[in-house]
Chains A and B, each alone.
Chain A
Amino acid sequence: MTRRAVITGIGVVAPGGNGRDAYWDLLSAGRTATRAISLFDATAFRSRVAAECDFDPVAAGLTPREVRRMDRAAQFAVVAAREAVAESGVDLGSYDPGRIGVSVGSAVGCTMGLEEEYTVLSDGGRNWLVDHTYGVPHLYGYMVPSTLAVEVARESGAEGPVALVSTGCTSGLDAIGHGVQLIEEGSADVVVAGATDAPLSPITSACFDAIKATTPNTSDPEHASRPFDGRRDGFVLGEGSAVLVIEEATAARRRGASVYAEILGFASRSNAHHMTGLKPDGREMAEAIRVAMDRARLGPDGVDYINAHGSGTKQNDRHETAAFKRSLGQRAYDVPVSSIKSMIGHSLGAIGSLEIAACALALRHQVVPPTANLTVPDPECDLDYVPRTAREHPMERVLSVGSGFGGFQSAMVLGRPRSARETV
């Protein structure tokens, strides 16, 4: 009997609102959560806009010790995981711990904690030979991104396979894909899977400044993230986390779980072309889409919505527009496409999980979230990008794609569960 994976719980920490409901409110209203950076003094930076989370770890339920121990990215992930597990109704205690898996994605790990401690140990960059006597007990936990998976695993009581997946900006999609594989191959029956990133710190901002990838637009932060718009000028950094509970479909049905979506297909490819550059033909992303749809047993007409990578760089928007045309042919012109990065920015590795969460919610509500700020389309981006306003739209299957530094291209197909078709 083929094992299949379904999404039964969603937890979110996102710019513009924490929690699944606030997240969907923001997306379906087409509101933007981008603003002038407040998390650090960005005066000397080229890009001074970001999508920040209004996140109070204590209010979010973390204890003082957890707050001390965990970097911001870990705090996000644990809070999102708690929500996902609670919301799914799954009793993890009823599972054999060895059958519980964890798969967390992150592009930059615990960068914030690592950087903050660096400034202390080096005394503001003065000393190459940093002073170990100023090291905090959790410093090693900041150095290794695996900490993020450790925290979620301990939270979930997982004693099965646990992994931190770090494929740049496709980490979130790939981590969920990894979780699906653990269930399908029989290594786990339930996987707490998602991604987290908190890159709004000087070093990460400076590194995107250096390659002029982020927007230099500082005058109009609310409208700075403009995927597919002819006036876009770079992406807007974001932060956040989405964590899902993924269960083996039969077990989920047996316990009467409310299923958001079934994961029908996943594939990833690399462009082996350039660490940051994309070829305009979208060839490898198209191949990832083709394989994911093939695994879902779908033809080009099989998807009803595409959640785009849509980062808001000219290079990306044209690359993936080409990829959609290449993989779906004429269908690419008919299917609605949107980018939620227009509202919540680009949270690097986390965004793929936030986008899958958005797809699952879109399927449940039968509403396509819009591409905010899209007013003057780039003539080379000539698909239906659902500008500015959410759209009610019947959807059975949706596609989400991601593209990342290192050449990674990933695609995932979600389907509305049969049970949901009857009950919702």
Chain B
Amino acid sequence: MADPTSPNPVTLSTTSAFTLDDLRRILRAGAGVDEQIDLSGAIAGVPFAELGYDSLALLELTGRIEREYAIRIPDGELEHTRTPAEAVTYVNSQLSQEGI
């Protein structure tokens, strides 16, 4: 599913304060990775559910981002993003609001 050689359908700014790699790192540490998932591949547009991440995983992700980046994420907002790309975009919008 997540073939690293396939072109990434979603482009993300590499200059963002919060990148897809940050998301990968935090998911790995917090919720772990299933064997059949290549988290380093083209996951940006792949729904979290297909990557094996459920509501608890997104709550853990929320908590970790809040602590590491010292931001507040209102209830439900990050949990309701569907893909890594949406999550990265959302976190960057929160970071810019916090004036970082």
Task: Using CB atoms and an 8 Å cutoff, list the residues of chain A in contact with chain B.
Answer: 210-212, 216, 274-277
Contacts and interface: CB of A to CB of B under 8 A. Distances in A.
B80 to A, nearest CB: 12
Of the four ranges (under 10, 10 to 19, 20 to 34, 35 or more), the interface on chain B belongs to: under 10
B70 interface: no
B59 A277 contact: no
B75 A276 contact: no
Contacts of A212: 59, 75-76
Given A212-B76, A274-B54, A277-B55, 10 more contacts: A210-B59, A210-B60, A210-B63, A211-B59, A212-B75, A216-B75, A275-B56, A276-B56, A277-B54, A277-B56
Interface string B48-65: 000000111001100100
Contacts, number: 16
Contacts of A211: 56, 59
10 contacts: A210-B63, A211-B59, A212-B59, A212-B75, A212-B76, A274-B54, A276-B55, A276-B56, A277-B54, A277-B55
Nearest to B79: A212
Question: What secondary structure prevails in chain A residues at the interface with B?
Answer: loop
A275 B55 CA distance: 11
B75 to A, nearest CB: 6
Contacts of A276: 55-56
A276 B57 CA distance: 11
Contacts of A216: 75
Contacts of B75: 212, 216
A277 B58 CA distance: 13
Contacts of B63: 210
B63 to A, nearest CB: 6
A390 to B, nearest CB: 34
Contacts of A277: 54-56
Nearest to A233: B75
Contacts of A275: 56
A297 B76 CA distance: 44
Contacts of B59: 210-212
A212 B73 CA distance: 12
A211 B63 CA distance: 9
Q: Would you list the 9 A-B pairs with minimal beta carbon distance, nearest first?
A: A211-B59, A212-B75, A210-B63, A276-B56, A277-B55, A211-B56, A212-B59, A274-B54, A210-B59
A274 B49 CA distance: 13
A212 B75 CA distance: 8
Nearest to A212: B75
A307 B76 CA distance: 30
B1 to A, nearest CB: 21
Interface in B58-92: 59-60, 63, 75-76
Contacts of B76: 212
Nearest to A46: B75
A363 to B, nearest CB: 38
B76 to A, nearest CB: 8
A31 to B, nearest CB: 29
